[in-house]
Amino acid sequence: MFVVPCTLRIMTSRFRHRSEDLDMENIFLVSKKDFVDDRVEIPLATQLLFCTLIVALVTLGIFGMQVIYLNVFRGSVFAAMAKNDANITTRMDAPRGIITDRFGNEIVNNTTGFDVIAYPKQLPPPGDERTHVIEKTAELLGVSPSDIETAIQGAENKKLLQIPLAYHIDTSHALLFQSLALPGIVAQERYVRNYIDGQVFSSVTGYVGLANEDDLSSKRALAPDDYVGRAGVEQYYNSLLRGIPGEQILSTSQQSSLPLVLPQQGSNITLTIDGDLQRYMYTRLVEAQQSLHTDGAAGIVMNVRNGEVLGMVSLPSYDPSWFLDAAHTRDIAQMFNNPLHPLFNRVVSGTYSPGSTIKPLMAFAALREGVITTNTIVGGHGGKLVVPNPYDPSNPSIFRDWKVHGDVDVKNAIAQSDNIFFYTVGGGAYGIHGLGADKIKHYWEMFQLGSKTGIDMPQEMEGLLPDPAWKKQTSKIAWRIGDTYNISIGQGALLLTPIQIVRYIAAIANNGFLVSPHVVQNQTRDADRIPVLALSDIDKQWLSVVQEGMQLTVTSPEGSAYLLHDIPMPIAAKTGSAQIDWNTKTNALFVGYAPADNPEIAILILIENAKSSTLNAVPVAKDILLWYYNNREHKN
Whether 586 contacts 610, CB under 8 Å: yes
Residue 235, domain CATH: 3.90.1310.10
Residues 347 and 467 reside in one and the same domain: yes
Q: Which of 255, 270, 285 is the last residue of a domain?
A: 270
Residues 263 and 293 reside in one and the same domain: no
Residue 415, domain CATH: 3.40.710.10
Q: What is the pLDDT of residue 45?
A: 62
189 is in which domain, residue-wise? 87-270
Residues 431 and 465 reside in one and the same domain: yes
Question: What is the mean predicted confidence (pLDDT) over 92-116?
Answer: 94
The reply to whether 57 falls in a domain is no
Nearest to 197, CA basis, from 189, 208, 205: 205
Residues 6+ apart with CB under 8 A from 286: 315
Q: Is the pTM of this model over 0.85?
A: no
161-195 pLDDT, tens digit each: 788 888 888 888 889 998 898 988 988 888 999 99
Residues 123 and 260 reside in one and the same domain: yes
Please report how the helices 481-488 and 419-427 are oriented relative to each other, as an axis angle in degrees rounded to 10: 130
| SS3 category, 70 | helix
38 pLDDT tier (thresholds 50, 70, 90) = very low
The reply to whether 7 falls in a domain is no
Which one has a higher pLDDT value, 339 or 536? 339
Domain count, the chain: 2
Residues 483 and 588 reside in one and the same domain: yes
Count CB neighbours of 531 within 10 A.
12
Whether 591 contacts 602, CB under 8 Å: yes
Residues 232 and 304 reside in one and the same domain: no
Q: Give the separation between CA 22 and CA 232, rounded to whole angstroms.
A: 106
Residues 234 and 328 reside in one and the same domain: no
The reply to whether 43 falls in a domain is no
Residues 441 and 584 reside in one and the same domain: yes
Average pLDDT, the chain: 85
187 alpha carbon, distance to own chain's centre:
30
Whether 592 contacts 561, CB under 8 Å: yes
Residues 255 and 299 reside in one and the same domain: no
Residues 245 and 290 reside in one and the same domain: no
The reply to whether 31 falls in a domain is no
Residues 262 and 356 reside in one and the same domain: no
Q: What is the pLDDT of residue 155?
A: 83
308-356 pLDDT, tens digit each: 999 999 999 999 998 887 667 788 888 888 998 999 999 999 999 999 9
Look up residue 369 and give its amino acid: E
The reply to whether 75 falls in a domain is no
Residue 55 has pLDDT above 80, yes or no: no
The reply to whether 62 falls in a domain is no
Whether 295 contacts 608, CB under 8 Å: yes
Q: What is the pLDDT of residue 529?
A: 56
Look up residue 612 and give its amino acid: S
Buried b vs exposed e over 118-154: b needs ≥16 C-beta within 10 Å? Answer: bbbebbeeeeeebeebbebbbebbeeeeeebbebbee
The reply to whether 65 falls in a domain is no
Q: Quickly list H helices, 375-460.
A: 410-416, 419-427, 437-446
Radius of gyration of the CA atoms of the chain, in A: 40
Residue 108 has pLDDT above 70, yes or no: yes
531 pLDDT tier (thresholds 50, 70, 90) = low
Q: Which of 246, 270, 294 is the last residue of a domain?
A: 270
Q: Which of 206, 236, 270 is the last residue of a domain?
A: 270
Which one has a higher pLDDT value, 38 or 509? 509
Q: Give the separation between CA 34 and CA 22, rounded to whole angstroms.
A: 16
Q: What is the largest CA-CA distance in the chain?
A: 161
The reply to whether 241 falls in a domain is yes
Q: Hey, which residues does 251 pair with through a beta bridge?
A: 87, 256
Residues 455 and 367 reside in one and the same domain: yes
